[in-house]
Amino acid sequence: MHIRPRRNRKSPAIRALVAETSLSASDFIYPLFIHEGTEDQDIASMPGCKRWSLEGLLKEAGEAHALGVPAVVLFPAVSEKLKTPGAEEAWNPDGLVPTAVRALKEAHPALCVITDVALDPYNSAGHDGLVEEQEDGSLEILNDETVMALCQQALCHAEAGADVVSPSDMMDGRVAAIRGELDDSGYEKVSILSYSAKYASAFYGPFRGALDSAPKAGDKKTYQMDPANVGEALREVGLDEGEGADMVMVKPAGPYLDVIARVRESTVLPVAAYQVSGEYLMIESAAASGWIDGRAVALESLMGIKRAGANMILTYYAKRAAEWLRE
Ligand code: PBG
């Protein structure tokens, strides 16, 4: 036998030389939940994550940054009394997100601060867009009216100092509209990371618990994508690229590795993938039961997402994984 592939696996040194993919803290974007209170709160639906106070946010983001994590993305838990059908709180300059962005950029100027652009945390209906009830009682998620609202929200985040705005709403035409709004207002340096291929996924359940943002009625299937489709993801990515997106995203990540690989081949833009709340909790709960080695499985899952073609990964493990990779 002349050919023995095991020679390339015989020692840690050889394995390091032949490794085709690497994982490092600089690949991670850390999603952080924030709320009005002064206490850091545990999240019942997402053990291991917290709803951070402003002070807690600055500390947690600072620690992650010191470990080499380059970016955070903010998700606000907005109190019920601020939620309205028009979601106006989404562009309140003194709201939770703009306040947090200003504080983060002041405390950690080199940290990249990303904001989520969508109406679900602010909208009394719990949908990413504005909702209109039809005569037959069904709900229509209004596209063009929502896009106008998203532009105001993105502008508000840019004014607060966000480095990147990240539309996660899946309305048609929002990337071009937001790009235009930012450019017209002198924010041509603010980037757009578009959730281009965001699927209507059951893996988001725990996240909606964390923000108390589940739709009050109906589902998100008329705007988020059908898990059956991949051609449609390429179409969305192509459109977002044409509309001026700087980076595109596939979400969820683990069950959609084929989509990540196809998107990677279809664009030269940087590709992000979101390891969402349900993916995180499947690992956490199995590890808590003693059924798997949580740390090893988390790192292997992140490596798989990277190997599929993601340049960056949004993950609730960002800080912990950065620590593990140091050891
Ligand atoms: C809402 C939004 C969601 C997530 C990120 N932004 C939920 C949804 O679309 O219903 C999910 C993230 C996760 O599950 O970790 N715009």
Using the predicted structure, report yes or no on whether residue 50 has a pLDDT greater than 90. Answer: yes
Would you give the DSSP letter of residue 244?
Answer: T
Q: How many domains does the chain have?
A: 1
Whether 151 is in a domain gets the answer yes
- Would 2 be classed as within a structural domain? no
In a domain, 223, yes or no: yes
For residue range 98-120, what is the model confidence (pLDDT) as tens digits?
A: 999 999 999 999 999 999 999 99
Residues 17, 19: Cα–Cα separation, whole Å: 6
Residue to mutate (ligand 1; options 30, 49, 73, 204; most atoms within 8 A of CB)? 204
How far is 193 from 288, CA to CA, in rounded Å? 34
pLDDT bin (cut points 50, 70, 90) of residue 213 is confident
pLDDT band at 248 (very low <50, low <70, confident <90, very high): very high
CA of 182 to the centre of ligand 1 (A): 24
- Tell me, what's the pLDDT at 300? 98
Expressed in angstroms and rounded, the spacing between residue 200 Cα and the centre of ligand 1 is 10
pLDDT score recorded for residue 194: 98
Residue 243 lies in a domain: yes
The answer to whether the complex's ipTM is over 0.90 is yes
Evaluate whether residue 135 is within a structural domain. Answer: yes
Quick check: is 239 in a domain? yes
What CATH number is given to the structural domain containing 278? 3.20.20.70
Q: Is the CB of 120 under 6 A from ligand 1?
A: yes
Q: Residue 140's Cα: distance from chain center in Å?
A: 25
**Whole-model pTM over 0.90:** yes
- pLDDT tens digits for 171-212? 999 999 999 999 999 999 999 999 999 999 999 999 998 888
For 203, the token pair is 């893996």
In a domain, 10, yes or no: no
Domain span at residue 238 reads: 21-326
Tell me if 14 is assigned to some domain. Answer: no
**Is 198 considered catalytic here?**
yes
> Which entry of 50, 83, 220, 251 is annotated as an active-site residue?
251
